[in-house]
Amino acid sequence: MDEEEEEGELEKDEYVVQKLTDICYGGIDRKSCIYFKVQWKGYGPEEDTWEPIENLSDCPLKIKEFVQEGHMRKVLPLPGDVDVLCGGPPCQGISGLNRFRNRDDPLNDDKNRQLVTFMNIVSYLRPKFVLMENVVDILQFAEGYLGRYALSRLVAMNYQSRLGIMLAGCYGLPQFRMRTFLWGALTTMVLPKHPLPTHNVVIRGGAPNAFTQSVVAYDEIQNPTLKNALVLEDAISDLPKVGNDQADDVMEYLVKPKTEFQRYIRLSRKEMLDYSFGDKTGPGEGTLMDHCPLRLNKDDYERVKRIPFEKGANFRDLEGVRVGPNNVAEFDPEIPRVYLESGNPLVPEYAIKFRSGKSLRPFGRLWWDETVPTVVTSANPHSQRILHPSQARVLTVRENARLQGFPDYYRLDGPIKERYMQVGNA
């Protein structure tokens, strides 16, 4: 309830709203609605909570105060006030992990509705420029339904539009990561071009056939001089050795940066800003944070220790596996099944059956000379190549963060699984 409505003693489990301090759409329980961050009367900031708008029906004055203050501070802009609107509305309804994807009407899936909300915000605010980022699946799923929807909405609002597919590795990250970028500009503005690649990364497919011309690249007649692609060694070879059970996520650097990428990524916030303007004064030797891996269970740790420390190694190198016709992994009938101390098999059924036995990803080891695949939201070695080249563990949160371009001064928050998720979703 509002403070103004507070009368007498409060009932049990009843609290008074002191102030609304922030706003977002969606929450931890993934309910699709507006949430306000609430400062409770008589409690400190550590007790602030996110509450759905339906829980604040008795607090219209607090909501009004929040909106009025937002307008005064220009936190909540009015139509015509916005120069650039940027966003990456998630479309989880088209994820390959979603077995119940709606191919006939993707926009009827609540998990895809944030794309509609994003375009509605564009329609209301009428910014001079719009930049939307998303996964390439919006151009692939259901014949590119969601991507075509976004493009058509901009055109219908009389925006100039330009669609581009870009690879992070082509711009100086040691990660492949293909993404879709959609520019929009009012007809009174100059429509920006997508930046051309700076690094020589071989494009390994991934662009939908109908949108191959949207891949940002040089014309065939051009012969640009590009920098060499960055690889895993460029990104993480300076980081201290840690084990599977590493618990302390704060430590000191043990060696100086070995590459230009490492030199830059280790700069402090101030030094990085100076560096951007050409002042290459050298890194400050700060504290290394989040350099700890997801702790594998005993069985998985045993499996990981037995994966050879060599390029291309994966579960197929474990005892009892052979490669049959059509490059399909299978159990070798001539070798007795090997079991771990727990009684579980060394080679689990799911590894053999993953992608019909044709995948090389389960318990796959990355290598130093690779531009790695896309960083994802978990460190599970069962279905992806995420093992360190020379250590018996998965990549740490910090190693993943570096592959995403996070500066070392950027500290993640929460349990370790949530930190992996924060990095992968960035």
The residues annotated as belonging to the active site are 91
Instruction: Give me the count of residues in the chain.
Output: 426
| Separation of alpha carbons 176 and 374, rounded Å | 6
Are 81 and 58 contacting, i.e. CB atoms less than 8 angstroms apart? no
CA distance 328 to 202: 26
Contact between 425 and 375 under an 8 Å Cβ cutoff? The reply is no
Cα(109)–Cα(95) distance, integer angstroms = 12
Structure tokens at 253: 């650097």
Q: What tokens were used for 328? A: 């399909």
In the 3-class helix/strand/coil scheme, how is the chain assigned residue by residue?
CCHHHCCCCCCCCCCCEEEEEEEEECCCCCCCCEEEEEEECCCCHHHCEEEEHHHHCCCHHHHHHHHHHHHHCCCCCCCCCCCEEEECCCCHHHCCCCCCCCCCCHHHCHHHHHHHHHHHHHHHHCCCEEEEEEEHHHHCHHHHHHHHHHHHHHHHCCEEEEEEEEEHHHHCCCECCEEEEEEEEECCCCCCCCCCCCEECCCCCCCCHHHHHHECCCCCCCCCCCEECCCHHHHHCCCCCCCCCCCCCEEECCCCCCCHHHHHHCCCHHHHHHHHCCCCCCCCCCEEECCCCCCCCHHHHHHHHHCCCCCCCCHHHCCCEEECHHHCEEECCCCCCCECCCCCECCCHHHHHHHHHCCCCCCEECCCCCCECCCCCCCCCCCCEEECCCCCCECCHHHHHHHHCCCCCCCCCCCHHHHHHHHHHC
Q: Backbone dihedral region of 130: left (phi > 0), alpha (psi from -120 to 50 degrees) or beta?
A: beta
Radius of gyration of the chain (CA): 25
